[in-house]
Structure 1
């Protein structure tokens, strides 16, 4: 039986192994001699991965018994799609197969000699460029308090205020309760071209005004003077024009949409005219929903305290030594900017959350936790901090559903490797709309995530709206290389180098393209530039399976000499 087992054949595709997202995926086909299948003995084939200091990761066991294999050319054959989690420490390991012959009667087990069936892991698919830059809300505290802006989104063809997840009603209630002599409130409502009732914008503005006055009568006992003005328009072409101009659409599609908007003078026929445009699907997904909205501006003035007084009071509020209402929300937020220490910022934003329950406090507290996580070297602690960041950014999103807030939430999920949740929040951030530079950033990181998940076609579509920048070209180059279009990959990497001429990552990627396409000049030229910019890449190049076939060639060795 042992001699028969030596005649087995194991074929692994791809070989060497390669990463796909955060997994190493491959197909393993095992064929054994027909005489190995007997009633007296059972034959099993263990597949495992060896790496590091005698570490072993069991993957699967092939049981060669009737009903679990097929005959291929008269030989028992099993083929499966397999995977195991990737981590950098597994780069230089070996995929192994070892047979077990089990005596059906005595249960005695005899192992065959381990067989190495694949060596190492190609990590090129991991070379994704990400941004995930999250910043604090800019401090707007000054001698005259600036207007507060709240956005309310409505269901299609409806004017009813939403009081569930994604609504700003809770924060509006807080403004209604603010202790001030007077408030000036402006409500500006819009609607999308595809909504049938052309009075929806007016109805939405009225709904907010009525809600504000009703709650004011119920909750406010200060007797403050409140002036509310509503504004709306039935001809929403100006709003649509602004949103199209700020969108992430390519210039030619923007021009096509603007041409249609300018030519169609009848608002009732505008949507029908737009349906002919190539970007109409984008309009439905990302622009129309953001037009079914109303913006509330609340303006009043407060007297400013000194920085020293604000900081001391904020510290005492955080320590629960004085009441939270000693400072306003803006003063608490401003106090957090007066200290560079993340631990103190966290305490002050936590105090702001407890006392105001408003979205900026949740958002900035979430940002603090992300910054703390990025400085943390312990994996378990880092994940715990990111979990707290996600918690607070989620509440910020409930209270202020904007593209920038949901981009930050998606980034927190992305950083914690919760890919599906990150993807859903990137998509929602895009649907909310925003400035072109914000949408470009969202699409770019969404594409990076899609590459990590192995969704290359979806990533290409996202990168169409990510702008012409370093990150976009690097990730397009990576996709083309993984699709084995080396000419296209080189074109995009060269474009990335126009943004960062001495970039080590771009030059190293070009060297990989040279190795894969057997272009020795490209390999040596760009590898030399890469290691000159980043000497740490010398070790990476020596261990990288992409360059295995070039190891003993003088050109490769000379390139590493810098």
Structure 2
């Protein structure tokens, strides 16, 4: 027995050695076999769009690469600048993570990485590695370049995304009534406590222990709702107000509640449609039907046959299902220096929260140019009043702070706080300007689908024509970013004839490879802003794609003359790679 054990022990190193050699050979064979891989990338070259570079990789491997106890992995990375490398992701050829196509294991996967200008000239690589699962032994393949980058033409869109502070009308508005709007579901008079509800704000007004309070309530309904729905909404709000008063039972408070006749459905419809971004002929058709002597049912049926029907259903009718509460009471005014000092003390918790009203806190925030101080005061206004202007303006401050922040993580954190506060502003005051602000914050942060959703909400709520034009214009810019060029062109029909509209129409047609149409819109932009650098640069890109050397020289030269920063852009832009040695390209840099 001892001899047997001794012999067995003496064989152990050889067994281990054989195992290591076998493992090493298998890994080596897998790496050699992987040379027969087929990898495609879409798009190629890579394209920068918005704040991301997004692309798809399809990798097909030889069937024999899949082995029990082993796995094959492709690391994906991007190299740019002075040997800078950004790890992007990986493709793992393990069971459950690939499919078979024509007998070969394949993976199709979406990838993205953040865009910055320093990545304009770079290369996309994959590097394979064969791995033994039990020992974690690894054998690497040679890196393989699979794409170059970046085409930056989709970034030539024009965006606004300017979020405005709620106008400070404290001096003139302090004594004016508060107006709260409540929206309802179709054919429903139930007050909502979720999205679109002002109930929490109304509760605070009801709870204010002011000696005299005059309350006026009115309501409206959409043409497609049952008769008397507006009246039911009016009654629901009056009942809610009185029930809350009974619970509070302020003996020293005199409250008068007056209900006005419901707002005319057709007058409201005409007002909304005239404020829309629809073509004038369509607006006139709807107005004519609404003002006709047809019955309500006949008018509704006639509207369903108009070109405006979809717009009415999506953007106008929901905004007509509302009721309004006006609360009228006033307070004594304080001097600006008193408001500022008290606001600072409230923010620092050195004065009671009710030392100032919400309007006074809002006004106090306008008295300092410092974003940090504005933030403190608006935070105090949010905490003490819970009303929508405080949330909105605090969101605006966070966006401005984010615009000045160069650190990516800090910038994203500030934008997240902006979105949080603007969302609450939207809950309390669902109007087009507020939802435009929220959409813009999402847009700036790079959350494209959320931004698109809130642009649609803003349009649905309606507003004055200039507000709607701004919303449609930035919505179109976002649609260009996500590759929905036809949708962008449709949105731009309602954005007016501004420089932004012409530029983004030009870009939409350029990216659809309709160069003649694109050139027409860029020329219109130049009529609005002669010698504009971006418009001329965009025309130079069209010239490069259409092989018009004279046009390339002219517009690239004018672009650089207007803004010297386009010199470096033109040197790095892949659109001009085919012209680097051409005289037409060189002449553009001679001023």
TM-score, normalising length from structure 2? Answer: 0.85
SS of the residue aligned with 1:339? coil
Larger mean CA deviation between 1-10 and 264-273 belongs to 1-10
State the superposition RMSD in angstroms.
3.2
Aligned pairs (5 A) from 1:136-175? 136-142=165-171, 145-175=175-205
The more displaced of 535-544 and 359-368 is: 359-368
1:409 partnered with 2:414: no
Paired with 1:3 and 1:339, the residues of 2 have a C-alpha distance of 68
Single out whichever of 226-235 and 249-258 deviates more from structure 2.
Answer: 226-235
**Structure 1, 173-182 or 421-430: larger mean CA deviation:** 173-182
Which residue in 2 is equivalent to 1:359?
388
Hey, what's the Cα distance between the residues in 2 that align with 1:87 and 1:424?
23
State whether structure 2 residue 369 is matched by structure 1 residue 340.
yes
Residue in 1 that maps onto 2:308? 279
SS in 1 for 2:260: strand
The alpha-carbon deviation at position 309 of structure 1 amounts to 1.7
Alignment of 1:241-320 (within 5 A): 241-320=270-349
For the Cα contact (< 8 Å) 1:132–1:445, is it kept in 2?
yes
Distance 1:94 1:340 in 2: 45
CA distance in structure 2 between the partners assigned to 1:178 and 1:416 by the alignment: 38
Residues 1:87 and 2:136 aligned together:
no
**Deviation (angstroms), 1:449:** 1.8
On the 8 A contact 1:153/1:290 being kept in 2, the answer is yes
SS of the equivalent of 1:490 reads helix
CA contact (8 A) 2:314 2:460 kept: yes
Find 2:222's aligned residue among 168, 177, 192: 192
Conservation of the 8 A alpha-carbon contact between 1:28 and 1:82 = no
Quote the offset at 1:227 in angstroms: 3.0
* 1:493-516 residue CA offsets vs partner (Å, 9 max, x unmatched): 222222222322222111111111
Within 5 Å, give how 1:131-530 maps onto structure 2: 131-142=160-171, 145-196=175-226, 198-219=227-248, 221=250, 223-233=252-262, 235-530=264-559
Distance 2:517 2:244 in 1: 60
Which deviates further from its counterpart, 308-317 or 221-230?
221-230
The 2-side partners of 1:37 and 1:162 are apart by 57
Alpha-carbon distance, 1:246 to partner: 0.3
Residues 150-191 of structure 1: CA deviation (Å, up to 9, x unaligned): 111111111222233321111112222334343332222111
Is the Cα contact below 8 Å between 2:505 and 2:521 reproduced in 1?
Answer: yes
CA distance in 2, matches of 1:498, 1:545: 28
Instruction: Find the aligned partners of 1:493 and 1:217 in 2 and give their Cα distance.
Output: 64
Deviation at 1:122, TM superposition (A): 0.8
The whole-number CA distance in structure 1 between the counterparts of 2:484 and 2:536 is 25
Q: CA deviation at 1:291?
A: 0.3
Shift of 1:268: 3.0
The CA distance in 1 between the partners of 2:354 and 2:36, in whole Å, is: 81
Q: Which moved more, 1:285-294 or 1:348-357?
A: 348-357
1:33-182 alignment, distance < 5 Å: 48-52=77-81, 53-57=83-87, 59-61=89-91, 70=101, 80=108, 82-88=110-116, 89-97=118-126, 113-142=142-171, 145-182=175-212
Q: Distance between the aligned counterparts of 1:38 and 1:239, measured in 2?
A: 71
Query: What SS does the aligned partner of 1:537 have?
Result: helix
Instruction: Give distance in 2, aligned partners of 1:292 and 1:191.
Output: 5
Is the CA contact 1:527–1:559 (under 8 Å) kept in the aligned structure 2? yes
Q: Distance in 2 between matches of 1:352 and 1:104?
A: 58
- Deviation for aligned residue 1:423: 2.0
Write the deviation string for residues 32-65 of structure 1: whole angstroms up to 9, x where unpaired.
8x999999x9987665432232415355448599
CA–CA distance in 1 between the matches of 2:405 and 2:73? 44
Tell me, which stretches of 5 or more residues in structure 1 are unaligned?
none
Partner of 1:24: 54
Shift of residue 288, structure 1, vs aligned partner: 0.2
In the aligned structure 2, how far is the partner of 1:215 from the partner of 1:502? 63
Q: Distance in 2 between matches of 1:43 and 1:384?
A: 37
Q: How does 1:531-550 map to 2 (within 5 A)?
A: 531-550=560-579
1:220–1:538 CA distance, 2 compared to 1 (3 A): farther
**3-state SS, counterpart of residue 263 of structure 1:** coil
**1:539 is paired with a residue of what secondary structure?**
helix
